[in-house]
Amino acid sequence: EDKVVQSPLSLVVHEGDTVTLNCSYEVTNFRSLLWYKQEKKAPTFLFMLTSSGIEKKSGRLSSILDKKELFSILNITATQTGDSAIYLCAVKYNNNDMRFGAGTRLTVKP
């Protein structure tokens, strides 16, 4: 059965800490992996990864994909309270299939 598993489910850190969020997957005909940030409103797009070993970076956020071990990590350095959100991982596979993980709820305390 196709699945996307995120860990941890929740995480509490203090401002300035570095966090690593994990997303592992088991799907047929993998196409891409996407990371979204979901605050109170709609998920907003962060990264799309299709190739192994190539780091995508945006400010304090970075992400990398390992297609051999079937996982991706999302790193956030020097966390701020504004980073508090649910981080969703989604995998596109086959022609049009897309599956989201349950998300990691990150809380950054001042």
Partner 1 sequence: EAGVAQSPRYKIIEKRQSVAFWCNPISGHATLYWYQQILGQGPKLLIQFQNNGVVDDSQLPKDRFSAERLKGVDSTLKIQPAKLEDSAVYLCASSFQYQETQYFGPGTRLLVL
Query: Which range of residues in 13-21, 35-43, 66-74, 75-83 is near partner 1 by CB under 8 A?
Result: 35-43
Please state the closest distance from residue 90 (CB atom) to partner 1, in A: 7
Contact status: 101 vs partner 1 (CB under 8 A):
yes
Q: What is the separation of C-alpha 75 from the centre of its chain, rounded to a whole number of angstroms?
A: 9
Please state the closest distance from residue 54 (CB atom) to partner 1, in A: 15
Please measure the distance between the N-terminal and C-terminal CA atoms of the chain and give it in whole angstroms.
Answer: 41
User: What CA–CA distance (Å, rounded) separates 16 from 96?
Assistant: 39
Contact status: 96 vs partner 1 (CB under 8 A):
yes
Contact status: 103 vs partner 1 (CB under 8 A):
yes
DSSP code for 52: T
Residue 8: cis peptide before it, omega within 30 degrees of 0: yes
Contact status: 65 vs partner 1 (CB under 8 A):
no
Please choose, from the candidates 52, 3, 6, the residue with its C-alpha nearest in 3D space to the C-alpha of residue 32: 52
Contact residues for partner 1 (CB under 8 A)?
A: 4, 6, 31-32, 34, 36, 41-45, 48, 88, 90, 92, 96-103
